[in-house]
Amino acid sequence: MKAVYTPDHLRHDPKVELERSVAHSPWEHIGRGEIIKDVLSADDRFEVVAPSQWGTDPITAVHDPGLLRFLDGAWQEYQRVVGDTREVVPEVFQMQGLRNKMSAGSEPSAIQGRLGYWSFEITTPLTEGTYVASRAAVDTAMTAMQFVLDGERSAYGLCRPPGHHATTSLYGGYCFFNNAAVVAHHVASTRGVKVAVLDVDYHHGNGTQEIFYDRDDVLYVSLHGDPARAYPYAIGHGDETGAGRGLGANLNIPLPVGTDDDAYSSALDTALRKISSFGAGFLVVSLGLDTFVTDPICDLALTTEGFRAHGAMVASLGVPTVVLQEGGYDVPNLGINAQSWLVGLGA
Ligand SMILES: [Zn+2]
């Protein structure tokens, strides 16, 4: 299996994160990408290749061009205006309640205000090379997609930073551009096939859901920790089924604490039946491995062997499949877990 990787991911290099009201070293860090690359490089079943460049058009096809303009230079502007900082995080969010009885308001002019206009939370610092790394993650996803469009049965994009929390106009949740949504939209809009996004990250992919919520050409299916207890809390419930033309093209399967391999397989079977009945001709998998039993920030109980079985279940759909990396924070086990899932898929 082709595995697309670029060292450009190292340019997004936070050293601190404010999460659960504590400042600590970040869960999402450069070691995640490196351990997956190291494990796949040592396995003959994988061929690690560099991405080609796709420019910004595929990004602005799903994202507000203002988000791209903002991310391109926000860190640098903050250094000029506010002063020397390694990480940059927002202070003020432009919440609707701030402007009750007034117009919605436009993008603030100050960099401090713009940060809170283009993001929705504070665990996702910008660093000097975040924009370069985020662009490279999209190139990685698009290159893996192209291998599948050219006839490979499946391919893997080692995307870092991940993407599924990024909405049309907001970054957050360690995500800047929505790699999976960029690929899904590109295939659906240029190939005339229906596309399914299967999101198996522990966290609900709120960004992917939001981007496709009113569309009937892209199905979003997610298995995730119930938002009653799990990030991003505000979205990911079972009764969110799509809107307008997209009604019925969104399926959320919230999972209880401690869900194990067998219970997960049963939920995954429901997801795969939905994808089959939708008639998807192309599949994008948002592969998060934070469902692992010892993941430090999640509470499901999947195993390395379980990931292999779940990859095999997805392969049984018989649909051309591009797999894109999302989360996974038990870093010592992250490489072998990605390998196991992809070998199950048929690497
Ligand atoms: Zn996650």
Q: Name which of 299, 303, 222, 324 is nearest 268 in CA terms.
A: 222
Burial of 345 (0-12, 13-18, 19+ CB in 10 A): buried
Amino acid in position 311: G
What lies within 8 Å, CB to CB, of 271 at 6+ separation is 198, 221, 223, 251, 253
Both tokens assigned to 320:
């051309």
pLDDT of res. 241: 98
Distance CA 307, CA 330 (A): 14
Q: What are phi and psi of 40, to 5 degrees?
A: -70, -35
Q: What is the pTM of this model?
A: 0.98
**Residue closest to 159 by CA, chosen among 70, 59, 286, 297:** 286
Q: How far is the CA of 328 from the centre of ligand 1 (A)?
A: 6
How many whole angstroms from 203 Cα to the centroid of ligand 1?
4
The answer to whether 284 and 197 are in contact (CB under 8 A) is yes
Distance from chain centroid for Cα 118: 17
Which pLDDT does position 104 carry in this prediction?
Answer: 83
Angle between helices 30-41 and 331-345 (to 10 degrees): 50
Catalytic residue among 29, 165, 203, 310: 165
- Residues lying with their CB under 5 A of ligand 1, a single-atom ion: 201-203, 288, 290, 327
Contact 122, 89 (CB under 8 A): yes
Distance 329 CA to ligand 1 centre (A): 8
User: Where does 73-214 show beta strands of DSSP type E?
Assistant: 154-157, 195-199
Q: State the pLDDT at residue 192.
A: 92
Supply the pLDDT for residue 110.
97
pLDDT at 105: 85
Rounded (10°) angle between helices 331-345 and 304-315: 30
Ligand 1 center to residue 230 CA distance, Å?
10
Domains of the chain, each with CATH number or no CATH? 2-67+123-345 (3.40.800.20)
Per-residue pLDDT 10s for the chain (347 aa) are 999 999 999 999 999 999 999 999 999 999 999 999 999 999 999 999 999 999 999 999 999 999 999 999 999 999 999 999 999 999 999 998 999 999 888 999 999 999 999 999 999 999 999 999 999 999 999 999 999 999 999 999 999 999 999 999 999 999 999 999 999 999 999 999 999 999 999 999 999 999 999 999 999 999 999 999 999 999 999 999 999 999 999 999 999 999 999 999 999 999 999 999 999 999 999 999 999 999 999 999 999 999 999 999 999 999 999 999 999 999 999 999 999 999 999 99
Cβ neighbours around 86 below 10 Å, total: 13
Which residue carries 């001709």 as its tokens? 281
Among 25, 59, 48, 341, CA closest to 175 = 59
Could you give the CA distance from residue 26 to residue 279 in angstroms, rounded to a whole number?
40
Beta-strand (E) ranges in the chain? 2-4, 17-19, 22-24, 47-49, 154-157, 195-199, 218-225, 250-255, 282-287, 321-325
Six-digit token string for 28:
């999402």
Is residue 164 annotated as a catalytic residue, yes or no? no
Q: Rounded to the nearest whole angstrom, what is the distance from the C-alpha of residue 138 to the centroid of ligand 1?
A: 18
